[in-house]
Amino acid sequence: MLQRSGTGFSNPGTQTRPDRSEKALPLGHPGPKSRRNGSRVCARSGGRPSGAADRLRGASVARRWALGLRETLGCFSAMHPLRRVLRAHRCLRWRPLASVSWLLLRTCRASCNLSSTTCPSPERQQEHGVQKDFSSRLATGPTFQHFLRNASVPQENLSSLDVEDPPPYLTVDQLLGRQRKVYLETYGCQMNVNDTEIAWSILQKSGYLRTNNLQEADVILLVTCSIREKAEQTIWNRLHQLRALKTKRPRSRVPLRIGILGCMAERLKEEILNREKIVDILAGPDAYRDLPRLLAVAESGQQAANVLLSLDETYADIMPVQTSPSATSAFVSIMRGCDNMCSYCIVPFTRGRERSRPVASIVEEVRKLSEQGLKEVTLLGQNVNSFRDNSEVQFNNAMSTSLSRGFSTNYKTKQGGLRFAHLLDQVSRIDPEMRIRFTSPHPKDFPDEVLQLIHERDNICKQIHVPAQSGSSRVLEAMRRGYSREAYVELIHHIRESIPGVSLSSDFIAGFCGETEEDHLQTVSLLREVQYNMGFLFAYSMRQKTRAYHRLKDDVPEEVKLRRLEELITVFRKEATKANKTSVGCTQLVLVEGHSKRSSTDLCGRNDGNLKVIFPDVEIEDVTNSGLRVRAQPGDYVLVKITSASSQTLKGHVLCRTTLKGSSAYC
């Protein structure tokens, strides 16, 4: 965990892979040099001491470490009073072995179950001639299994453990929110929406309150995006606006705390803390459990940061709190991180490696959402269809991954685990009246069993996002996408054959490194050939840490990028309008979301293909209750006959209220 100290950063914790049960120190504690995620982290001090002073200081530190470790180990072998371990902590002065000492203390609490009966002190033992040497103490002390057993705390116990056993520099009371009000702003993708709900769930359990009024907030948290430079600039501008709010805060109120959460905190940690002094806390995508501690440290006036990436954090035990009580749909995160390492993409560096939630925890969350009356769930992941649950040992020897024909990966083929088709099957069985969507997939992970399942299940939406990024095989190779234009087009044909009437969407990048005019025209021709129903198109924005940043040259001028982007958008809109007009005259099932933003007399909803549908708010027949006439409400399924279409919206006349299963006879 990066901690601010003067003009540099210190890492007071252990140098091993971070464990969720360990606690970091407040900012400002001195720490050793270490390596964390491949970057150098150091604490800067005054002038450099002489070599002799270095040696003397090193010898003194080594003696203190040895003394502290010896006394701590003695706690296990001789059952000394707890003050022995605390004295060891003072000797260590929170150097690298401090976290080991703290872990030993917790192991002592959990495994040895200290009783009120204390053993004789070392002085008494020496008097009776029973003093043991260090080797014998070590032999009778904790084994490696003690560390494994107590370091691997079950996720469902983490929250209670944090409160019952806070870090030594904080009290339980300091970790509580004491009804301070939190204001949350979300930027970027659907994963950030889900992250906001996870962060709020954690803070709510710690005693914080939620507010939608910025002026009455005690804590402002921005959940950020780093996918493009424009997304980051939006946050810098927002921080500039919040500076005035913080400086004008009345002294009669508690100080306003501002935090940056998510991908931007992970990517620009040092720059944010140095450039924006109004920022009090940073929390990366894998550090939301640490928010109560970070806010408690910030209360002392220090900046606090936790941007460590995890190999196993999925927040599987945390039930996200829906931020909109009137919502008809919800996002469910099924996996985090990405292993694809596309040359342009920052995601593996801000969200870490791929890891999937256990199927059982996902099924349970979807079941609870169904019980709350929600009618649509979107399964989320950076590479959602590469889902692989390895939590159940009996499935770990299963066959290797089956990829789409003509596709390859940038990593070694993975073996075993419960795959996406199994999860999709289980989730779609929970509630036949609940729609299931998923995003964002990678084209390589569409085996036939996934396509067949989408075709067979009425409640799995017939809409697939197939990000192409470019129509040029040469550019796709530079992007490390793992497929050619020809393989991609073949997949599109296969999807349309497997799922008649499927709605397709895609992503495209204009002006990637080395893209020529011919490459651009090939992308234009792909848009015309496929005729997507929806599209997400952006000019290329180079990101630090990516492979493109280190190995390629961002040589397409900005004005050329923007021109090519405008051309792509124009072609996309023209082709999408053609594709959407094929729905005119058809009857479609629409899930009502609420009133249209442009007209209070119209309602708005989405069809199976995720297109927005606008229709009049009038009385209609309820086919489930013969003779009853009603007005459609958010969460209702209605049948709408489409009368017109554009590149983004359909319009029509509402016919009746129905059910998802009952609509199959009309659509």
> Concatenated DSSP letters for 568-619?
HHHHHHHHHHHHHHTTTT-EEEEEEEEE-SS-TTEEEEE-TT--EEEEE--E
- Quick one: tokens of 79? 């059952």
User: What was the pLDDT predicted at 168?
Assistant: 73
Residue 652's DSSP bridge partners are 642
Lowest mean pLDDT among 163-172, 212-221, 290-299, 443-452: 163-172
- Quick: pLDDT tens for 523-534: 999 999 999 999
Residue with the larger pLDDT of the pair 166 and 186: 186
Average the pLDDT over 78-90 and give the result. Answer: 44
> CA quadruple 577, 579, 584, 587: dihedral positive or negative?
negative
Which two tokens mark 242? 């919040």
The whole-number pLDDT of residue 588 equals 96
Going by C-alpha positions, the residue among 60, 119, 121 that lies closest to residue 91 is 60
Structure tokens at 358: 């256990």
Question: What pLDDT does 435 receive?
Answer: 97
CA distance 474 to 480: 10
Whether the upstream peptide bond of residue 473 has omega within 30° of 0, thus cis, is: no
Question: Which CA distances in Å does 454 have to 437, 457, 461, 608?
Answer: 10, 6, 7, 12
Residue 602 pLDDT: 97
pLDDT-derived band at 577, boundaries 50, 70, 90: very high
Q: Which two tokens stand for residue 548?
A: 């493109």
Query: What is 122-139 written as a DSSP string?
Result: HHHHHHTT-PPPHHHHHH
| Tens digits of residue pLDDT in 196-235 | 999 999 999 999 999 999 999 999 999 999 988 889 999 9
Ranges of beta strands (E only) in 99-163 are none
Predicted confidence band of residue 619 (pLDDT cuts 50, 70, 90): very high
Q: What is the mean pLDDT of residues 166-171?
A: 74
pLDDT at 102: 45
Q: Two tokens at 366?
A: 């979807």
Give residue 398's pLDDT band: very low, low, confident or very high (50, 70, 90).
Answer: low
Listed range (51-55, 514-518, 598-602, 616-620) with the worst mean pLDDT: 51-55
Minimal CA–CA distance to 338: which of 350, 330, 329, 327?
Answer: 350
Judged against a pLDDT cut of 50, whether residue 45 lies above it is answered with no
pLDDT tens profile 249-287: 998 899 999 999 999 999 998 899 888 889 999 999 999
Question: At CB < 8 A and 24+ separation, what contacts does 287-290 make?
Answer: 288/195, 288/198, 288/199, 288/202, 288/261, 288/315, 289/20, 289/158, 289/159, 289/162, 289/202, 289/313, 289/315, 290/24
C-beta of residue 115 within 8 angstroms of C-beta of residue 82? no
Report pLDDT for 163.
Answer: 52
Q: Specify the pLDDT at position 130.
A: 41
Q: End-to-end alpha-carbon separation of the chain, Å? A: 54
Q: pLDDT at position 167, please?
A: 77
Q: What are the residues whose beta carbons fall under 8 Å from the beta carbon of 130, sequence distance 6 or more?
A: none
pLDDT digits (tens, 9 = 90+) for 58-81: 445 445 545 554 444 444 444 444
Q: What is the dihedral of CA 328, 334, 340, 345, to 10 degrees?
A: 40
The answer to whether the CB of 175 falls within 8 A of the CB of 160 is: no
Q: 3-class DSSP state for residue 63?
A: helix
- Residue 321 pLDDT: 86
Tell me the pLDDT tens digit for each residue of 183-193.
Answer: 999 999 899 99
Calculate the CA 462 to chain-centre distance.
Answer: 26
Q: State pTM to two decimals.
A: 0.73
14 has pLDDT over 60: no
Instruction: Report the distance separating Cα 237 and Cα 243, nearest Å.
Output: 10
Rounded Cα distance between 344 and 513, Å, is: 9
Nearest CA-CA partner of 143 in 76, 82, 71, 83: 76
> What tokens appear for 562 in the block?
């923007």
pLDDT above 70 covers a percentage of the chain that reads 73
Reported as a pLDDT band with limits 50, 70 and 90, residue 298 is very high
pLDDT mean across residues, the chain:
81
**What confidence tier does 165 reach under pLDDT thresholds 50, 70, 90?**
low
Angle of helix 51-78 versus helix 82-92 axis, rounded to 10: 170
- The lowest-confidence range among 165-174, 300-309, 496-505 is 165-174
